Amino acid sequence: MAKSNRLHYIGFPVALVYGIIVCIRNLFFHINLLPSQQYAIPVICIGNLSMGGAGKTPMVEYLIRLLSKKYRVAVLSRGYKRQTSGYVLAGEHCTSQEVGDEACQIKRKYPSVIVAVDKSRRRGMKHLLAMTEGERPQVVLLDDAFQHRYVQPSLSILVTDYNRLFYKDKLFPVGMLREPAGGVRRADWVVVSKCDPALKPIDCRIMEDDMHLQSHQQVFFSGISYLRMEGIWPEECCPRALNSLRKEDEVLLLTGVANPAPLIEEMKKYSQNIKVMSFGDHHDFKKNDVKKISASFAKMNPESLIVCTEKDAMRIRNNPYFPSEWHSRIYYVPIMVSFLFDKGNLFDESILKHISTMENSRILRQ
């Protein structure tokens, strides 16, 4: 019997038991045996059904750019793989060790936004709403909270990767689903992320049909735009456009994310000399890791670069094992969400309408 088949047969009973437990938990929330708290302010959940990188953080950043012009915005995250516990309010010079990769990235890019982490989202909400009136958030974005049901969002956005659509996946450990695909019914909107730019409307209609959504659920299709390379230590190296790379330029591509394939594919458009070193998601680079990186980097020419994802940059910036002589040669590539078929305006208007409706309802209740 092939190894993959053995793993399937071993994993299937585990997935079955896991699925039953998750379904019972969801049922308890549905019949209010487990309490889910609502709030008077807009609370927007951005989550997914699968484990790994569906593109939630770029969607959170998109919402920050949209909403922070008009509202005091807070981002509340679990702070995955941080080395602290409880509620932590991110400071301007926070580290990934204090608040996790995503929260650190968001706070450093958007310092005026409130960023907090707490494994208990309800406790985190309590802290945020206890802020003084002039500081208290007017909108809260819950990062990766689709399964954290003790807080009931006013709007729930489910992000699913075009390359691993939730309805084609299976429950963990056979697949990567955190809960059965039917959980999509809790979402108000579904955003299919990382779409092929050549996607046609007929392809989208087929995907929508396969999702078996309800009439009130909206679907949006989005892609990734790769921006210019930024230095992890910006005082030591200037930004560079990706198209400034030549085919012969040597690049050591470091990835410690769930799905590095899109970045690898993008980098290969510009250089034919890409060496990839992939590590696990949220990998904390140890001394031995850096020794291996150094051995590979030493074989390259003196003009070669190290390039990583933006999340990796959060961990590398304060890592003592990366030598200072590399600082002028290490870059990360930021990404940005872009909506297909000119649906960005519709998405924006729908978000703003949701918030405006909640504001008006609150005023009427007063």
Residue numbering of the annotated binding site for ATP: 50-57
CA angle, residues 272, 273, 275, in degrees to nearest 5: 130
Peptide linkage before 173 cis (omega within 30 of 0): yes
Element (H, E) at 220: strand 218-226
Q: Name the one residue in this structure whose structure tokens are 């609150």.
A: 362
Phi, psi of 177, deg, nearest 5: -75, 135
β-pair partners for 43: 140
Q: Radius of gyration over alpha carbons of the chain, in Å? A: 21
Q: At what angle do helices 56-67 and 101-109 cross, to 10 degrees?
A: 30
Residue 57, classed as helix, strand or coil, is helix
CA angle, residues 280, 284, 288, in degrees to nearest 5: 95
CA separation for the pair 136, 143 (Å, rounded): 18
Give binding residues as ranges.
50-57
Dmax of the chain from CA atoms? 68
Asked whether the beta carbons of 74 and 59 are under 8 A apart, the reply is no
